[in-house]
Amino acid sequence: MEKPTGTAAPESDETPAPRKTPTQQRSRERVERMLAAARELIAEQGSDALRMSEVAERAGVSIGSLYQFFPDKTAIVGTLVERYNEHGRRCIADGLEKVASEEDMRQAFAALIDIYYRIFLEEPVMRDIWFGAQADKALRDAQLSDSRRNGAIVAEALKRIRPDADPETLQTSAFIAMHLGEEAMRLAISVPRAEGDALVEAYKRMALAELLRAQDGIAAAR
């Protein structure tokens, strides 16, 4: 995966990571079983109730083997978070790759938000993890970092539309838009579906208005 371009701020907090990275095929397969078991258990009972012993049992590995790779359940959840985040960054980069005009941005951004919303609705594990992440500082910081990265991708697309725009202003607007997008999704799935759909549409209008008025604001300031 290509590293997103843009003026992202330095990251001082990392996603809680595995204790060690598997290098052999057998170890990688074992780690995948552990993560698959964790996803299943989270889907069944939520991340708050996740227990290391249950993950080991479901994955068919010893508890010692599990601890070799994951020191605690936060590391497991953090790994799942980063995988979802990485998938999201690829979707955003692919969706905005051919943006060359304001109309392109309107259509591409709206389509991405629709995909994001659908994932929130259809993926109970991701939904549970993202809600639960708000109670854990390391996971909160990881989500904030992800918003910065996603904002950098959006800002890069905006630069193609407005090459004379101030990069810092574009980055700030894009960062805010992407971070508030997650909050909008959490709100949308917390209310009845019809209201949630309306909230998502309202978010798209507001986010696009902010993203596309950035150059106008700069011009007015000059």
Q: Which band of pLDDT confidence, cut at 50, 70 and 90, is reported for residue 13?
A: very low
- The owner of tokens 């629709």 is 114
Q: Given this model, what pLDDT does residue 24 score?
A: 76
CA distance 3 to 199: 32
Q: Which residues contact 203 (CB under 8 A, 6 or more apart)?
A: 113, 180, 181, 184, 188
Q: Which two tokens stand for residue 52?
A: 């290391």
Dump pLDDT digits (tens) for 25-41.
888 899 999 999 999 99
Q: Which residues contact 120 (CB under 8 A, 6 or more apart)?
A: 126, 127, 130, 185, 186, 188, 189
Q: Given this model, what pLDDT does residue 8 score?
A: 38
User: Domain-by-domain residue ranges, the chain?
Assistant: 25-70, 80-221
Is domain 25-70 classified as CATH 3.40.50.300?
no
137 to 23, 134, 207, 209: CA distances (angstroms): 29, 7, 26, 31
Dump pLDDT digits (tens) for 72-120.
988 998 899 888 889 889 999 999 999 999 999 999 999 999 998 998 8
CA distance 162 to 114: 25
Compute the C-alpha angle 59/65/66, nearest 5°. 60
Q: Which two tokens stand for residue 35?
A: 């993560």
